[in-house]
Amino acid sequence: MVSKALPFTKEKISEIIAQYPTPFHLYDEKGIRENACRLKEAFGILEGFQEFFAVKALPNPYIMKVLKEEGFGADCSSLPELLLAEKTGVVGESIMFSSNDTPAEEFRKAKELGAIINLDDISHIKFLEDEAGLPELVCCRYNPGPLKEGNAIIGTPEEAKYGFTREQLFEGYRYMRDKGVKRFGLHTMVASNELNPQYFVETAKLLFELIADISRELGIRFEFVNLGGGIGIPYRPEQEPVPYDVIARGVREEYAKIIEANGLAPLRIYLECGRVITGPYGYLITTVRHLKHIYKDYVGTDASMANLMRPGIYGAYHHITVLGKENEQPRFKYDVTGSLCENNDKFAIDRMLPEVKRGDVLVIHDTGAHGYAMGFNYNGKLRSAEILLRPDSSFVQIRRAETVDDYFATLDMDGLNSFS
């Protein structure tokens, strides 16, 4: 089981709320840094290991700066994410640019920054060549199709829109070799929130064998393999964290059996994790606004799916603590909801909690990845602030809450007067 103990007190949250009203996302910097160190220590046994933080999970430059200080690069998938990396001081081959259906301007910006460009489709080779020119180093994303199972979040590889087939990889690398590309990488991403460590070892084995086959046939040498991300977190208290060291040792064994045995070393090992890096260290703090008793008992909060989409669209579990009532028995069954005009705007269904009263503060756990990042403005809901809890227990606002003026900023309200 994993502990759902909080890294802050009710008094600290009250202090923050006095300055920044709920709802807001709160991130534990100390927890993020300590986790980053554990990951580096475990995977440090692998050749040239590098983690590229998946910016999509938590696109905030303060978090990116923290992770840069811990030695992480940035996995980017759009122009704004590339610009965030640049503004944070992450440039060159510390950026992995993995996109799909990619516009020319994003390829040009990635090349300008010296990022590693990871192509999603064989047609993108010629598109990149025409629009920006082929760089010296190119990576391609592999879709293993029926050779690998996916999961409910990312889908099965055969149904996924991502990546090259095996045959397309041989064709693509041959073309780039003949066009003068000198340096090569290989990438895949076939799981999301996967808790079985053996899954990642098997993925590494699949990629190592493919690298051996391509190298043998085409006479090219790969500099790195990116195993993707997808390492899951224990959202439920009864689940266990994924042991980093088990993955790392398993990958190291397959590396020796395949890469070293075929004379293909050194081959650097990369990851692009997001969820496991920041997910457990984020919390959505929300205040109970109303209680409703009809056919079920409802706890209405001042947050909504606009702040945390995962429970509504995936049916995902997020643990909930009633702040100050951690030691009380969960004797009452509630649906915990937001105020959107959608019936799936629920953080929990039939959740057993201590008795909840108006004004109670709820802590929704594990929102440090794909929480704020997936927010939206349906029903005119304004996106919340992001607060960073520092290791010395001080706190800083790292993104302010949206205002109504922000919501209207892209509308030509002055033009409305002359519109008929």
SS3 317: coil
C-alpha–C-alpha distance, residues 97 and 82, integer Å: 8
Instruction: Tell me the angle at which helices 29-43 and 61-69 cross, rounded to the nearest 10 degrees.
Output: 40
What does the CA dihedral 116, 117, 118, 121 come to, rounded to 10 degrees? -170
Under 8 Å between Cβ of 401 and 383:
yes
The CA-based angle 115-273-167, given to 5 degrees, is 65
139 is catalytic: no
C-alpha–C-alpha distance, residues 308 and 305, integer Å: 5
Q: Which of 76, 140, 273, 341 is catalytic?
A: 341
C-alpha–C-alpha distance, residues 40 and 51, integer Å: 8
C-alpha–C-alpha distance, residues 174 and 181, integer Å: 10
Which regions of 132-257 does DSSP assign to beta strands (E)?
A: 137-142, 183-188, 222-226
Which DSSP symbol is given to 260? I
Q: Which residues are catalytic?
A: 341
